[in-house]
Structure 1
Amino acid sequence: MAPATTRQRGSIGWLPSGSARVKVYAGIDQLTGEKMWLRETVLARATRRETEREAEKVRTRLLNQVDERRNPRTGTTVNELIDRYLEVVDIDRKTRAGYVGKIEKHIRPELGKRQVGAVKAETIERLYAQLRRCRDHCNGRVFVQHRTDHEHACDEHTSRRKCAKVAQGDLEVECRWCARACRTHTCRPLAPGSIRVVHAILSGAFGRAVRWGWIAVSPVKQIEPPATPRPNPDPPTPAEAALLLNEAWDADPDWGTLVWLMMTTGSRRGEVCGLRWSRLDLDHAGVAIFKRSTGQIGGRMWEKDTKTHQDRRVTLDLEIIEVLKEHRARCEQRATELGVSIAPDAYVFSPSPDGSTPTKPDSVTQRYLRLAARLGVATRLHSLRHYSATELIAAGVDVRTVAGRLGHSGGGSTTLRIYTAFVNEADQRAATALADRRVRPPNRRTPTERAAASPED
């Protein structure tokens, strides 16, 4: 009886150019149920025999990939992977909106049509390098960057307002329409923090692909993550903070109260907008309890947990307690004049007379930026947290207490690393303390002794 022959796995075909095409069966696609094949073309060598030997090596390598399950188990694209990832990932609504924005602008256009198994570490590193050059993926192209995708006239703003500076009170500011004008594209790198978000999205998506058995190894794990942006907090100076607070109070006591509370507690804008009267104890303990926050995307608002998902009690000083009591009296007076009442659970800062709706966080940011622009102060709303942390540290308050007021974990490491700016006053105290303990050469007088000495000496 003749011995049984073993069927050869994989095939080698020949092209008219003399090159060889290797094809190996790789199983069934987990998503589509169709057969999968690994294919690779071997360029023609000097002789057909040499090409055939090289093709045999490639066939053996591809078969080893299949046997060791190192080949992709699906031919799906990155677009499909991202869609599946967004379905299962558990993140905050606003974080999801930020993810989607970066996916649509940076990931889908560059990687979306590639097969998941075809994305290599080099592919992702080249994407990061491109983002460090230009956030708009221009690739050196020269084009007009329009301010909107809708039909418009590129010079529309010049007919509505001159492009020169516009007077606002005693100050002159740039025309707000100039910033929206269509102009020739100028490359601007994507911020390092945003590149890290792109990296986090890709890491999460390809990590899920490994977990689901689509690929054997995540290409993101093979590259070095983008560097962490160096913290550079820039709080307003005490003089600038006083100027901002006075101007806000003169414009509207309610608005001034909000700015004062943020400056005092170092709370986030969503936490202040979501603060309710039932979480303010102004008569006994004198504390504000931040339990919930207000989120906003466009015109939609919702109530959510605080950023750390923990309640936070912040002690209030006597002056801010008095300011909040005056604010409560104004709210009650307006409600009475309009024939409504303020519920115990009403919002502290609300555009509604009965306090039933919270103030929009985006509106708070925009109003604060306009205030700072009028005063010529280069700052942003979040810098009030920096201001609160910096002033408390400069006053000698221990870091753990400051971290607790701001809602940080980790024993205050985040507070020191990010939110505390360099304080000249504290640094001067440190220099003086070192000078008092430092050894000095014999017979050398201190600056105080030299200043006290007479000129004849």
Structure 2
Amino acid sequence: MDERRNPCTRATLDQLLDRWLEVADIEATTRMGYVNKLNKHVRPVLGNLPVGRLDAETLESFYASLRRCRDWCGGKAYVKHRVEGEHTCTAKCRPHVCKPLSASSVRQIHWILSGALSRAVRWRWIAVNPAGQAEPPAPPHPDPQPPNPAEAARIINKAWRDPDWGALVWLAMTTGARRGELCALRWQHLDLDAGVLTLRRSAYLDEHGELREKDTKTHQQRRVALDPETIEVLRELRGRYLDRLAQLGADADTADYVFSPEPDNSRGYRPDTITQRYGRLATRLGIDSHIHALRHYSATELINAGVDVRTVAGRLGHGGGGTTTLRVYAAWLSESDQRAAGTLAARMPPRPVTPTQGIVSTSPYQAIAAGLREQIANGQLRPGDQLPAVAELATALGVSVGTAHRGVALLAAEGLVRVVRGRRATVAQPRLKNSPDGSGDNLLQGAEHRPVPRQSAHL
């Protein structure tokens, strides 16, 4: 009995998993992830093995095989056919190339098996949970790679060619909301007068590919403060929404979605649509980024600005009182949520204007950009020269550090200066008419002809 040679059941691991999935109280999206991993990686290899025969050695050997090759090839060469049965091989039938499963995915498989085997112990199918004796792969080291301020400016300017899409990207940057939360956002969740956004629901695709909604990831609603610029972005977005309804002869409904592919905003976006569209945008700009990186951008900029971890965790919806935020971003200071909203607004790149908006060129940060632009154009600042520090500009001109930062960010968006986090901005090399980015202008020669700095990203 100590060696478990006579288990209480002859059930296989497949039978245990089926029974466990029937009784386990698991969220819909979590269940789909579990089923996918079990069907793809566990059942083909261990499914027919009796539960009583599982031990730590078997599990650790299984984990090691997944880290070598996710297709369990065993080191044997074979052709991976595109279709099953007899057929004439085409270019799509290629020799198998081993691709290891990531350590994080193997760890997830370990904890899924551990949960099912723990239930088997409780049901007295087995006496000991073998997963408790097996050692899973070490957790991967957190490595968030958010876009830097210059890349964020390029992303915003490119996205703003479609103002509604630009508003979604802007809100993802300023609030750190998850893609599913943005897809499920409705007008009734916005209080633009108070400047508060309430995140209550999250959109997802069920096993049949149908769009559904559920609670947020932490099963808690959260309120996020909005800065004045973001409030203005949302007011303009709502204005375009109301204009479309007027053309359709329809009435506004607070239950309509804020972001929608439909003219009347009656249906929200699919989360995978948001991911794919942002991915194509980043690829066109030559930036290695994904939609979730905008959450990293929001958190990183807030922490770099000195906002305390608990406030950042509250805005992002991290559980554990900031443990996840600390583990991933490793920072510590103290501010309030309103301070967080204002600070991030100051660090955001200048918002592009649509052709129907009025042109205003008297803002302090635009004046700062104009002065530096003139020095670059007349040769006082040459390519490679360092710009004055942001704090020095703010002190000399009597403005806030955030305003001076926005002035430098505007020049970075125009390609006149180069910004690297942790270093002083430098004057960029001039781009000629045949420059690879297709700008079509020598920025140094044409800077004095730009009529409106804020409009420059569109001209």
Q: Which runs of 5+ in 1 are unaligned?
A: 1-65, 157-180, 426-457
Partner SS state of residue 411, structure 1: helix
Compute the RMSD of aligned alpha carbons: 2.2
5+ residue gaps, structure 2: 332-420, 425-459
SS in 1 for 2:181: helix
> Which residue of 194, 201, 221 maps to 1:311?
221
Shift of 1:89: 1.2
Does residue 87 of the first structure (1) align with residue 17 of the second (2)?
Answer: no
Take 1:231 and 1:182, find their aligned partners in 2: how far apart are those partners? 37
What is the distance in 2 between the residues matched to 1:152 and 1:244? 46
Mapped partners of 2:20, 2:153: distance in 1:
47
More strand by share: 1
- Which amino acid is 1:414 matched to? T
Of 178, 181, 189, 1:279 maps to 189
Q: What SS does the aligned partner of 1:412 have?
A: helix
Query: Which TM-score applies when normalising by structure 2?
Result: 0.69
Aligned runs of 1:313-352 on 2, under 5 Å? 313-352=223-262
- Report if aligned partners of 1:71, 1:215 keep a CA contact under 8 Å in 2: no
CA pair 152-403 structure 1, distance change in 2 beyond 3 A: farther
Deviations 1:43-98 (A, max 9, x none): xxxxxxxxxxxxxxxxxxxxxxx599883111111110010011111112111111
Q: How does 1:5-20 map to 2 (within 5 A)?
A: none
Instruction: Report if aligned partners of 1:75, 1:117 keep a CA contact under 8 Å in 2.
Output: yes
Superposed displacement of residue 368, structure 1: 0.3
Query: Greater Rg, structure 1 or structure 2?
Result: 1
CA distance in 1, matches of 2:330, 2:227: 21
Cα-to-partner distance string for 1:203-249 (whole Å, 9 max, x where unaligned): 01111110001011111111123211111100011100110110000
1:244 is paired with a residue whose SS is: helix
* Structure 2 partner of 1:444: none
Q: What aligned pairs does 1:352-367 form with structure 2 within 5 A after superposition? A: 352-367=262-277
Q: 1:198 to 1:265 in 2, by over 3 A?
A: same
Q: Closer, same or farther in 2 for the Cα pair 1:309/1:367, shift >3 Å?
A: same
CA distance in 2 between counterparts of 1:194 and 1:123 reads 18
1:90 match: secondary structure: coil
Quote how far apart the aligned CAs of 1:352 are.
2.3
2:169 alignment partner, one of 252, 256, 259: 259
* 1:102-161 alpha-carbon deviations (Å, 9 max, x no partner): 1111111111111110111111010000011001111112222345669987647xxxxx
SS of aligned partner of 1:314: strand
Matched, 1:240 2:148: no
Residues of 2 paired with 1:312 and 1:401: CA distance?
A: 12
Q: Secondary structure at the match of 1:313?
A: strand
Which position in structure 2 is the counterpart of 1:223? Answer: 134
| Alignment map for 1:14-413 (pairs within 5 Å) | 71-146=6-81, 155=90, 181-250=92-161, 252-283=162-193, 285-297=194-206, 299-413=209-323
What's the % identity of the aligned pairs? 60
Query: How far off is 1:410 after superposition?
Result: 2.5
Q: Match for 1:415 among 314, 321, 325?
A: 325
Alignment coverage as a number of residue pairs:
334
What is the alpha-carbon distance in structure 2 between the residues aligned to residue 78 and residue 150 of structure 1?
A: 29
Summarize deviations over 1:342-392 as a string: whole Å, max 9, x none. Answer: 311211011223322111110000000000011100011100000000000
How far apart are residue 339 of structure 1 and its match? 2.1
Q: Is the 8 A contact 2:199 2:222 kept in 1?
A: yes
Matching residue's letter, 2:120: A
TM-score with structure 1 setting the length: 0.69
2:277 partner amino acid: R
The residue type paired with residue 140 of structure 1 is G
Structure 2 CA distance, aligned partners of 1:393 and 1:309? 25
Q: Which has the higher contact order (CA 8 A, sep 6+)?
A: 2
Q: Deviations over 1:3-56 (max 9, x none)?
A: xxxxxxxxxxxxxxxxxxxxxxxxxxxxxxxxxxxxxxxxxxxxxxxxxxxxxx
Preserved contact between residue 78 and residue 113 of structure 1 (Cα < 8 Å): yes
Distance in 2 (CA, whole Å) between partners of 1:344 and 1:369 is: 30
- Provide closer, same or farther for how the CA distance between residues 67 and 144 of structure 1 changes in structure 2, counting only shifts above 3 A: closer
